[in-house]
Amino acid sequence: MPFTDMPRSELVKYAPDLPWPEDLEEFWSATLADNRALVETPVIKRIDTGLTVVDSFDVTFSGFGGHPIRAWLHLPAKVDEPLAAVVVYAGYGGGRGLPLDVSVYTLAGYGCLHMDTRGQGSAWTVGDTPDPVGAAPTHPGFMTKGILDPHAYYYRRVYTDAVLAVEAVRRLPMVRPDRVAVAGGSQGGGISLAVAALLPDVWAAIVDFPFLCDFRRATEIADCDPYLEIVRYLKIHRDHVAAVFSTLAYFDAAALATLARAPALFSCGLMDRITPPSTVYAAFNRYGGDKEMIEYPFNDHEGGGGFQHLRQLRWLASLM
């Protein structure tokens, strides 16, 4: 998308008035309360990866509906005191990966939990967590699962899993509960925004080219999946437009971002065809806490890559 979204002068000011259901906050407070009541103690098993500088653990914690959600926990080896930690959410189609997929956060001295995304994990990294909840007829993919009812929508389960992942990490003796950040790119960035909104006391949010933002505009201008899953669904279900966008209003991370309070570091590729830059700025400009945006003018959905990782580590260190 070579600079065809908006002129940059408009992009940096773009803060749309997004739909806000009257019961949005009640919807989420009730969802989280109902599912917190089902939480059990996480199961943590140390595993041998052959790595000598990282201690790794196979973690299972309670997600939405009490469903078991898998994750990897990586810690710097031979550290005895509780650590600051980062909960990382996967991009669309990915899972927690293999136990050797260690994040730069752990190499920099942080604990790191890599959460599986239920039902995903077969597109570019592997996953181990099924989604046992059924749904009405959908377009292939995850974007339209249960899309006619916010209570049945797929991302209600995913956002709840993501919140409960942070709360599970906070209970671990090897982690500082007041120093748990959230991070991710694309889908993981959108999930990080949602968690920062639903848990305003998270330590920090690292949000790279977030997906799940400004749904109406995204479906009108994006020319790549996954937003086009919704477009193709509506091409068939012509009578579902109002119901679809009514449901999506409960999950728009750009709208939820107004509730967030943690400091946040964003990034955006200005030639991104998957998460159009205006939808990223919709979230950034509405974000309720201190924030910083890093732009990569000539990059698509790969964003800043290693250049951004360097900035993230320096930024997190500045918050300590």
| Residue in 186, 192, 267, 278 annotated catalytic | 186
Residues 6 or more apart whose Cβ sits within 8 Å of residue 295 = 267, 268, 270
Distance CA 317, CA 320 (A): 5
Question: Which residue out of 5, 192, 272, 278 is catalytically annotated?
Answer: 272
Measured CA to CA in angstroms, residue 30 lies from 152, 228, 230, 276, 317 at distances of 14, 31, 27, 32, 35
Q: At what angle do helices 24-36 and 154-170 cross, to 10 degrees?
A: 60
Give SS3 for 73. strand
Q: Measuring CA to CA, which residue among 85, 82, 186, 40 is closest to residue 72?
A: 85
* Contact in structure between 142 and 120 (CB atoms under 8 Å): yes
Catalytic residue from among 74, 114, 139, 301: 301
Q: Is the dihedral of CA 174, 88, 151, 28 positive or negative?
A: positive
Ramachandran angles phi, psi of 102, nearest 5°? -90, 135
301 is catalytic: yes
Active site residue 318: no
Count how many Cα atoms sit within 13 Å of the Cα of residue 146 in the half-sphere of its side chain.
Answer: 17
Q: How many other C-beta atoms can be found within 10 angstroms of the C-beta atom of residue 50? A: 8
Active site residues: 186, 272, 301
